[in-house]
Structure 1
Amino acid sequence: MADKKTDDKPGLSDPITLRLPVDILADIEKIAETADRSRSWVIVRALKYYLINEGSDLLEIRQGLEDVKAGRVHDAEEVFAELERLSREDAA
């Protein structure tokens, strides 16, 4: 069954509680004040940046592990043979 909270507000945010070290929160507040933005805006932007960089690597690893578990794999010898065939076609 779907979570009613997310069904009622598709595309909107979900509030969370987060404990941050005091020094990090101080920097977030300084950045928010300087940029004339909310602390939430700064935190969301930082999390998006993380997800694009380190987070995407972890998500790709997870997807690869799920593919292996589900049997969505290719035999390495077949892959190398196909690459060899394609490189010969390109050379011709």
Structure 2
Amino acid sequence: MSDRALSDPITMRLPVDVLTEIEEIAAISNRSRSWVFVRALKAYLASEGREIIELAQAKRDLDAGKGTELDAIIDEVEAIAKGAAA
């Protein structure tokens, strides 16, 4: 048995078609439904979920004055481009 810490059980309602696919994947891979759920959630968290968190952090940073004005970035890019063209 794994020493991994587990949460309390949760209850969730799913569309029947989603649950059917989860059960089919679990049966084919000889795994539990929980295993399939965790894998699916980890994949979501690694992509779209991570993006949501990063965008929220960026907004907090901007609200805290940690951003750079777009005009300053454009000026810097133009200066680099002019230097590269010379």
Percent identity over the alignment is: 35
Q: 1:25 maps to what in 2?
A: 19
Q: CA deviation at 1:91?
A: 2.2
Structure 2: give runs of 5+ residues left out of the alignment.
Answer: none
Asked if 1:76 is matched to 2:74, the reply is no
Asked if 1:62 is matched to 2:43, the reply is no
Q: Per the alignment, do residues 73 and 22 of structure 1 end up closer, same or farther by CA in structure 2, a change over 3 Å counting?
A: closer
Q: CA deviation at 1:76?
A: 1.4
Asked if 1:86 is matched to 2:80, the reply is yes
- Scaled by the length of structure 1, the TM-score of the pair is 0.73
Q: Per the alignment, do residues 72 and 48 of structure 1 end up closer, same or farther by CA in structure 2, a change over 3 Å counting?
A: same
1:41-66 deviations in whole A, cap 9, x for unaligned? Answer: 10011111212232222112211111
Structure 1: give runs of 5+ residues left out of the alignment.
Answer: 1-8
Kindly tell me the number of residue pairs found equivalent between the two proteins.
Answer: 83
Structure 2 Cα separation of the partners of residues 21 and 39 of structure 1: 13
Structure 2 Cα separation of the partners of residues 22 and 54 of structure 1: 21
Q: Per the alignment, do residues 89 and 12 of structure 1 end up closer, same or farther by CA in structure 2, a change over 3 Å counting?
A: farther
1:15-47 deviations in whole A, cap 9, x for unaligned? Answer: 340312261333212211111111111001111
- Scaled by the length of structure 2, the TM-score of the pair is 0.77
Structure 1 Cα separation of the partners of residues 55 and 15 of structure 2: 32
Q: CA deviation at 1:81?
A: 0.7
Asked if 1:14 is matched to 2:7, the reply is yes
